[in-house]
Every structure is written in structure tokens, then in C-alpha cells.
């Protein structure tokens, strides 16, 4: 913050009082926040009146865009009728029941029972507890370990952050907790061995998973958790054959498959669920973000009937299923979620993600020859562009994590909000985005990319290839 910042401005008051998540707090004291005042469609506006395309849909989540009046009205109606009601001890209410029924109808075959939480982190934390409870009920007290993936993202509670495979979420938090293991990332561009095809790479990753299960003892490994497309870790689309081979290993050793669709659920990949896109048959499905377009905090764990029956038997034995949140199935959140899903279906936003997403992917891939671009990856309306110092060797810039934020800052100056993930830049616009708005987004990104090339030459001493 500079000396000219008014002491009573929103920015100054923010720096004095707000402890921000995922933020370098000392840098924030100097830089201050971008204060967003309002949103409309795919755009948001700051407190100085500047307009931006929200190229990340907030945090991968505002499917129907900003200021959707139907969601405002759904929340208002429910606030006036029943602003709060819990679901503990045989209590329920219509919005919770209606949304549960809707989710069972929409989700992949065989998933029949819904447990609501307030966030994806709480949902994945719930999954760990639920699977422990389940295997105790099944007489498998040793079968408790979870296998997640390096650079996977599953949340930030003690348990869900342990599933997350990112150093930032483990360092100095004393994580991961015992019983959580990490196998290799599904990023072919960075992790493939010389001469390895995508199919070869998928076979190796499946073999490594099998070796891990055998080394730990199959009797101790309970579940494998993965995002259909790895999101916050870098937007990694699985290579050919990946999920087919991973699932075969899990089935061989009676390891549950948990699909974390917090980002991909409800149309992001151009199908209603990433499980449909990649042929995943989960035992447990985790949903959040686009379930309510994040207008209200809401997440869900959807489980198979076989899992439910054993948990139900154990609850009868112990007296109750001793887990839940004050906001589990919150009436306003579930009412908004139900209306949000109606909008997604009525306006064919899944189809829009496929159609307009194809334009986004084509436009980004046209940048593949740019001197800074190493890889463009994505599917539907989710994508990433990875910047490299050398295209042939795929060498990263030194230090890693400096040029990506620089590019994102320049995008912001051009009216486009994106997210850096080290030196990759992520795209995940609202699913209501039009082709014209994609063109606007691409033009801003291209301009910022060219400016960043000049910055890299001047600041990092990088030389563009001849």
C-alpha cells in the first residue's frame, strides 16, 4: 500500500483486518487487494469501476455467471419460508430432500445416497471418516489408507489437505497425516519418460499404483481418490487409457474409487460429470462449487447403496452416525443449489461448455508456437497454458513461479482475471460465456503474453529463440 491510499478506503481496511487465504501476507500489506464490488454475467467490477472478465469463474465455480436473479429469488423465498433447519436426528426439510433426489437422478448409475457439507474440503474430510467407519463396520480394521496423487487437490482441512498433493498445503502444517500416500501425477508433458507414449505412461502410472498397494499391503489400502481432471494443481487432463488402467488396479485389490468432481462436476468438461467424460465408475462422488455456482456454500458426498447399507447397520449398532455439520443440507443453500441445477439444464450450459469450450481450446492451442508457451492443455471450459524458458527441453524459468504471476498481473491490466499455478495460467470461465466473450478473453491474453515476453527479456535475461 502506498502513502496515498486513503486510510478509510476498503483496501486499507482490508490490509488492517483481513487475514487472506492462499496469500503472501507480507506482500499483501504492500500490494493491497483488488476489491470487487459487483458482478454481472461473466464480468466483475472493482471499486474503481474497472470491468474484468472473470476467467476463473471466481474459484472454478460460478457456472451460471454473476447476479443470476433466479438464484437471488430462490434464496429470498427460502429465507422468508425457512431460513435455517438442520438435518440431525431425523429432522429434514423440502430443499434438502429435493436436491438429494435430483443429485441421485443426475449422478452416475449406482450412487444413491447424499450427505451434504458446506465445502469440498469438508466433503473430502467426510469421505476419510466415512471410509474408516465403513471398514470398521465391515470387519476390516486395517483397511484405512488412502492413496491420492502428487499435485492433486482435495481441500485444506487436516485430513483433506493431507489428500492434497501440493507442498504449499503440507509445509509447516505437519502434513500429511498418517495413512495418506501419494502416487505419481497424471501430467504426461512433465512426467513422461523419453520415448514414452501416452498409453505407455498410463500403464506405468497404473503399475506404480499397484506396486504401492502391494508394498503397503492390500489389506491396509481403503481408497484411491482423484479428480477426473486435476484442477488446482495445474489443470492436468488424463492421458490416453489412464482412468481405465487405474480403475482396473483398484478393483483388483478391493480399493474404493473416490471421484473428486468439486471442479469438474455439472458440465465443466462438456459432459455433466467428468466421470462420464473419462469413463470413471466411482464408489463415492464428491461435488461442490458449481452445485450452487458458489452463491451459497454447499457440497455433497454421494455414495453407493452398498456403502450406505453397511454405514446404516453400523449406525444402528452404535446408536447414530456420529458425524455432521450445523449447515449439513442447509435449506437456503440446497434451495439455491436446486435452482442452479435447473438453470444448467434448462439453458443447456453443459452443451455450451462443449461448444464454446471447443473455441476456447482452439484459440489457446493457436498460441502453441508462441516462444513462451510450452504446453496448452484442457477440455471443455477448463484449460491451462504452461510457460517455459526453452520449448525443446521443456525447461522451466528460474526461479519457478515468477513469470506465471507476472503474466496474470498483465492479464488483469487488460481486463481479464486468471489464476497462476506456478508458471501455468489457468482458465475456467463461467459456463454462460459466449463465443464473443471467449474472443475478448483470448485477445486480452495474447496481448498480455506478448508483453510478458518483453518483461522476461528485460527482467529475467531470457532470450527469445530466433
Q: How confident is the model at residue 3 (pLDDT cuts 50, 70, 90)?
A: low
Contact (CB, 8 A) for 73 and 343: no
The pTM of this model reads 0.96
Q: pLDDT value at position 5?
A: 80
pLDDT digits (tens, 9 = 90+) for 160-218: 999 999 999 999 999 999 999 999 999 999 999 999 999 999 999 999 999 999 999 99
Question: How confident is the model over 263-270, as a mean pLDDT?
Answer: 98
If one counts every other C-beta atom within 10 angstroms of the C-beta of residue 391, the result is 16
End-to-end CA distance of the chain: 40
232-254: burial string, b at 16+ Cβ within 10 Å, e else: bbbbbbbbebbbebbbebbeeee
* Percent of the chain residues past pLDDT 70, beyond the cut: 99
CATH class of 34-64+348-459: alpha beta
If one counts every other C-beta atom within 10 angstroms of the C-beta of residue 373, the result is 18
Per the prediction, the chain carries an average pLDDT of: 97
Crossing angle between the packed helical segments 435-459 and 403-413, to the nearest 10 degrees:
130
pLDDT at residue 221 is higher than 70: yes
Question: How confident is the model over 366-372, as a mean pLDDT?
Answer: 96
Contact (CB, 8 A) for 412 and 26: no
Sign of the alpha-carbon dihedral angle for 87, 93, 95, 101: positive
Contact (CB, 8 A) for 290 and 266: yes
Nearest to residue 191, comparing CAs of 181, 205, 203? 205
Q: pLDDT value at position 17?
A: 96
pLDDT digits (tens, 9 = 90+) for 50-74: 999 999 999 999 999 999 999 999 9
pLDDT at residue 4 is higher than 80: no
Q: pLDDT value at position 465?
A: 84
pLDDT digits (tens, 9 = 90+) for 413-444: 999 999 999 999 999 999 999 999 999 999 99
Does 399 sit behind a cis peptide bond, omega within 30 degrees of 0 on the bond before it?
yes
Give me the count of residues in the chain: 466
Rg for the chain, CA atoms, rounded: 22
Nearest to residue 15, comparing CAs of 239, 333, 27? 27
307 or 1: which leads in pLDDT: 307
Nearest to residue 86, comparing CAs of 321, 328, 333, 334? 328
Listed in order, the ranges of the chain carrying CATH 3.40.640.10 are: 70-346
pLDDT at residue 410 is higher than 80: yes
CATH class of 70-346: alpha beta
Listed in order, the ranges of the chain carrying CATH 3.90.1150.10 are: 34-64+348-459
Nearest to residue 423, comparing CAs of 452, 447, 464, 451? 452
pLDDT digits (tens, 9 = 90+) for 77-131: 999 999 999 999 999 999 999 999 999 999 999 999 999 999 999 999 999 999 9
CA distance 55 to 78: 30
Q: How confident is the model at residue 466 (pLDDT cuts 50, 70, 90)?
A: confident
Amino acid at each position: 500500500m502506498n502513502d496515498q491510499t486513503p486510510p478509510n478506503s476498503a483496501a486499507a481496511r482490508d490490509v488492517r483486518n483481513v487475514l487472506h487465504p492462499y496469500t503472501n501476507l507480507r506482500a499483501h500489506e504492500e500490494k493491497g487487494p483488488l476489491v470487487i464490488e459487483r458482478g454481472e454475467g461473466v464480468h466483475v467490477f472493482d471499486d474503481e469501476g474497472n470491468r474484468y472478465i472473470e476467467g476463473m469463474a471466481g474459484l472454478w465455480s460460478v457456472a451460471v455467471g454473476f447476479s443470476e436473479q433466479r438464484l437471488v429469488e430462490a434464496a429470498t423465498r427460502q429465507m422468508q419460508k425457512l431460513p435455517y433447519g438442520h438435518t440431525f436426528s431425523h429432522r429434514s426439510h423440502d430443499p434438502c430432500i429435493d436436491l438429494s433426489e435430483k443429485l441421485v437422478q443426475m449422478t452416475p448409475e449406482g450412487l444413491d445416497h447424499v450427505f451434504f457439507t458446506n465445502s469440498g474440503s469438508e466433503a473430502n474430510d467426510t469421505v476419510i471418516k466415512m471410509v474408516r467407519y465403513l471398514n470398521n463396520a465391515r470387519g476390516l480394521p486395517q483397511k484405512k489408507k488412502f492413496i491420492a496423487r502428487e499435485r492433486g487437490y482435495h481441500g485444506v482441512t487436516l485430513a483433506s489437505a493431507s489428500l492434497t498433493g501440493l507442498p504449499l498445503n503440507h509445509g509447516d502444517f505437519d502434513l500429511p497425516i498418517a495413512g495418506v500416500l501419494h502416487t505419481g501425477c497424471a501430467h504426461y508433458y512433465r512426467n513422461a519418460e523419453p520415448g514414452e507414449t501416452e498409453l505407455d505412461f498410463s500403464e506405468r502410472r497404473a503399475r506404480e499404483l499397484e506396486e504401492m498397494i502391494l508394498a503397503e499391503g492390500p489389506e491396509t489400502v481403503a481408497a484411491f481418490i482423484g479428480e477426473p481432471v486435476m484442477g488446482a494443481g495445474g489443470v492436468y487432463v488424463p492421458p490416453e487409457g489412464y482412468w481405465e488402467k487405474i480403475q482396473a488396479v483398484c478393483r483388483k485389490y478391493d480399493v474404493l474409487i473416490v471421484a473428486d468432481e468439486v471442479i469438474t462436476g455439472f458440465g465443466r468438461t462438456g459432459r455433466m460429470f467428468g466421470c462420464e467424460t473419462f469413463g470413471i465408475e466411482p464408489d463415492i462422488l464428491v461435488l461442490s462449487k458449481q452445485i450452487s455456482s458458489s452463491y451459497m456454500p454447499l457440497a455433497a458426498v454421494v455414495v453407493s447403496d452398498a456403502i450406505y447399507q453397511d454405514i446404516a447397520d453400523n449406525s444402528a449398532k452404535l446408536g447414530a452416525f456420529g458425524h455432521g455439520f450445523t449447515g449439513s443440507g442447509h435449506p437456503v443453500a440446497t434451495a439455491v443449489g436446486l435452482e442452479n441445477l435447473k438453470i444448467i439444464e434448462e439453458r443447456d450450459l453443459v452443451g455450451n461448455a462443449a461448444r464454446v469450450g471447443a473455441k476456447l481450446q482452439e484459440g489457446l492451442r493457436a498460441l502453441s508456437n508462441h516462444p513462451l508457451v510450452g504446453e496448452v492443455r484442457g477440455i471443455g471450459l477448463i484449460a491451462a497454458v504452461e510457460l517455459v524458458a526453452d520449448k525443446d527441453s521443456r525447461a522451466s524459468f528460474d526461479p519457478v513461479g515468477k513469470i506465471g504471476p507476472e503474466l496474470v498481473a498483465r492479464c488483469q491490466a487488460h481486463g481479464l482475471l486468471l489464476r497462476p499455478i506456478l508458471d501455468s495460467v489457468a482458465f475456467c470461465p463461467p459456463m454462460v460465456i459466449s463465443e464473443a466473450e471467449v474472443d475478448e478473453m483470448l485477445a486480452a491474453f495474447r496481448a498480455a503474453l506478448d508483453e510478458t515476453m518483453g518483461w522476461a527479456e528485460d527482467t529475467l535475461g531470457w532470450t527469445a529463440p530466433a
